[in-house]
Amino acid sequence: MATKIYMDNAATTPVRDEVFNAVLPYFKEFYGNASSVYSIAKESKKAMEKARGQVAKGIGAKPEEIYFTAGGSESDNMALRSIAESLGKKGKHIITTKIEHHAILHTCEYLEKHGYEVTYLPVDEFGKIKLEELEKSIRPDTILISIMFANNEIGTIQPIAEIGKLAHEKGILFHTDAVQAVGHVPIDVTEMNIDMLSMSGHKLGAPKGIGAIYIRKGVPIQPLIHGGAQEKRKRAGTENIPGIVGLGLAVELAVSEMEVETKRLVHLRDKLIHGILETVPFSRLNGHPTERLPGNCNISFTYIEGESLLLLLDAVGVAASSGSACTSGSLDPSHVLMAIGLPHEIAHGSLRLTLDRNNTEEEVQFILDKLPGIVQRLRDMSPLYEEIANKKA
Amino acid sequence: MEYSEKVMDHFMNPRNVGVIEDASGIGQVGNMKCGDIMKVYLKIEDGRIQDAKFKTFGCGAAVATSSMATELVKGKTVQEALEVTNRAVMEALDGLPPVKVHCSCLAEEAIHAALWDYAQQNGIEIKGLKPPVNDVDELHHGEAEEE
């Protein structure tokens, strides 16, 4: 069945109409290489610098502190690997959390193989780190703290300003993976003492394959990709002008609409969460009840498995995601759900619905109407539910 | 990862879901950690499987392989049922994605476990049948592929 309701906006979003229209001229009309001197190239250069300003303004940075990349994963890799390289002589200890995106976790594992030590902070039942634990884990050889702004699976928002303050008091650089947060929650890198921040375009209505990293002036960064002199020699490669234009506009639009859109999304999110918890027995909310992304709903249903749930939702035209092992390509359920202390049987039965600007009240109601029957259908097939049903009878 | 039409058919319209109250043999395999548990009920008369039912907690492939495995053993003799291997289940479903091969192993094992239970209860020996392995996923862990 064709997808009627798309509620997997944490995975990716459709390109916004305004963005689509704005990027089109940069494919065939203003196609010049921004490094060249002729007039058509100047258009590219001009558009790129405008976008740099838009991105910077969106997070409270200066334009010269924004470097365009191919996406969130590249930005995360660049932050960790280049700080490890620049400050490796000073120390080899990095602090992160157990619930980071794999772009951070796998880069940390890579660095561990190359002589670095990484502390993976635990999180509480809501997915938040404890500042005391962060403070305790800081060592004289700690060179970097990298903690995600908001979690992609359960939506929990970390106390970023407090983390930034602590990092700066201790003189340690602070990077945050803000791929899920940019354009969705207010960010001010100066107020929050953030030294580096990763973002991705396609999570907020810009095309895939474009991202950026904010690097505070003075932070010793190294290029991940060597080559030409683009991005002040920090990121080689001919600039993706259409992507850059799209990212700039998408950030500007998202930030300008944030106040109104957040109210609308929080209303829809809470209607979805409370509606599901009230109508489906043996269900629980994953993540923090209030300190979570405006569009994130993550709920576990005991006695059923997530992939089956996604297939049945797809059959009624709903696109969603799950943290079950069967959808991760491994045999273990999501590391985030395990980190918040869910037992395997509950982690396997998780459903993530992520709302964005295109979702409506009617769509939320459709899911509230369909979901209880779908969950029951799977429970009627489940040997685990049979035991519970027999006990009750 | 994509499922074949047959897998989707057996997932969307699973055959033989349920329990057999007076089952001759019941087998349950799988574990919570990997996220697949299959319970198979067999009704056996005169050495022939008259009916088969299942209940499964698991992904689309787990449900589809349970459905197909119970379908394949119905009407077969106990000896013939032993030949319903995971390969046979997979072939009948027009294949499975590599990461889902362990589901077909689990289905084979669930049938074997129910047959083993039947044999134990009736004090008979089924040639070629080994005691059930509960942790099928551990055995086939190596077959899973990273995304």
pLDDT in tens, A335-364: 999 999 999 889 999 999 999 999 999 999
Q: What does the alpha-carbon distance between residue A212 and residue A56 come to, in Å, rounded to a whole number?
A: 10
Query: Hey, what are A391's tokens?
Result: 């006990």
Residue B133 belongs to domain with CATH number: 3.90.1010.10
- B137 versus B53: which is more confidently predicted? B53
Q: Is B144 on the interface with A (CB under 8 A)?
A: yes
Domain range for residue B54? 5-140
Spell out which residues of chain B touch residue A386, defining contact as CB-CB under 8 Å.
Answer: 19, 39, 55
For residues B6 and B130, which has the higher predicted lDDT (pLDDT)? B6
Give the pLDDT score at B142.
38
Three-class DSSP category at A212: strand
pLDDT band, residue A330 (cuts 50/70/90): low
Q: How many domains does chain B have?
A: 1
Lowest mean pLDDT, pick from A13-17, A32-36, A325-329, B17-21 = A325-329
Chain B CB within 8 Å of residue A386 CB? yes
| Per-residue burial over B46-82, b = 16 or more CB atoms within 10 Å of its CB, e = otherwise | eeebebbbbbbbbbbbbbbbbbbbbbbbbeeebeebb
Contacts of A224 (CB under 8 A, 6+ apart): A74, A77, A78, A81, A82, A235
- pLDDT value of residue A216: 98
Q: Cα(first)–Cα(last) distance of chain B, in Å?
A: 9
SS3 assignment for B61-106 = HHHHHHHHHHHHHCCCEHHHHCCCCHHHHHHHCCCCCHHHHHHHHH
Check whether B144 has a pLDDT greater than 50: no
Closest chain B residue to A387, measured at CA? B55
Tell how far CA A343 is from the center of its chain. 24
Tell me which of A105, A305, A385 to substitute to probe the interface with B (most B C-beta atoms closer than 10 Å). Answer: A305
Per-residue pLDDT for A82 more than 50?
A: yes
Res. B145: pLDDT tops 60: no
Confidence at residue B80, expressed as pLDDT on a 0 to 100 scale: 95
Give residue B33's pLDDT: 75
Q: Any CB–CB contact under 8 A between B20 and chain A? A: no
A212-245 pLDDT per residue, tens: 999 999 999 999 999 999 999 999 999 999 999 9
Question: Mean pLDDT over residues B17-37, rounded?
Answer: 91
**Which of A12, A2, A7 lies closest to A316, judged by CA?**
A2
| CA–CA gap between residue A206 and residue A295 (Å, rounded) | 18
B134 band by pLDDT with thresholds 50, 70 and 90: low
Question: In the prediction, which pLDDT does B143 show?
Answer: 39
Segment A296-315 shows an average pLDDT of: 95
Task: Name every chain A residue with its beta carbon within 8 A of the beta carbon of B141.
Answer: 331
Is the residue at B20 inside a domain?
Answer: yes
- Does the beta-carbon distance from B58 to A326 stay under 8 Å? yes
Q: Average pLDDT, stretch B25-54? A: 93
Who wins on pLDDT, A35 or A286? A286
Q: Average the pLDDT over B121-137 and give the result.
A: 79
Per the domain annotation, does B21 fall within a domain? yes
pLDDT of residue A1: 63
pLDDT of residue A388: 78
Check: complex ipTM more than 0.95: no
**Residue B101 covered by a domain:** yes
- The shortest C-alpha distance from B59 to chain A (Å) reads 5
Residue A161 has pLDDT above 60, yes or no: yes
Q: Are A169 and A193 in contact (CB under 8 A)?
A: no
Distance CA A176, CA A257 (A): 23
CA distance A324 to A321: 9
Q: Percent of chain A having pLDDT more than 70? A: 97
Question: What's the pLDDT tens digit per position in A85-125?
Answer: 999 999 999 999 999 999 999 999 999 999 999 999 999 99
Written as one letter, the residue type at A383 is P
Question: What does pLDDT average to over chain A?
Answer: 95
Give the mean model confidence (pLDDT) for residues A9-13.
96
In the prediction, which pLDDT does A326 show? 63
Read off the pLDDT band of B35 (50, 70, 90): confident
Worst-scoring range by mean pLDDT, A146-150, A387-391, B81-85? Answer: A387-391
Is residue B81 included in any domain, yes or no?
A: yes
Interface test with A, best of B11, B33, B59 (most A CBs within 10 A): B59
User: Is B139 at the interface with chain A, CB within 8 A?
Assistant: no
pLDDT band at B117 (very low <50, low <70, confident <90, very high): very high
pLDDT at A167 over 80: yes
B146 in a structural domain? no
Catalytic residue (choose from B40, B103, B106, B136): B103
A331, pLDDT greater than 70: no
List the single residue in B with minimal CA-CA distance to A378. B57
Report the residue from B14, B102, B145 with minimal CB separation from A381: B14
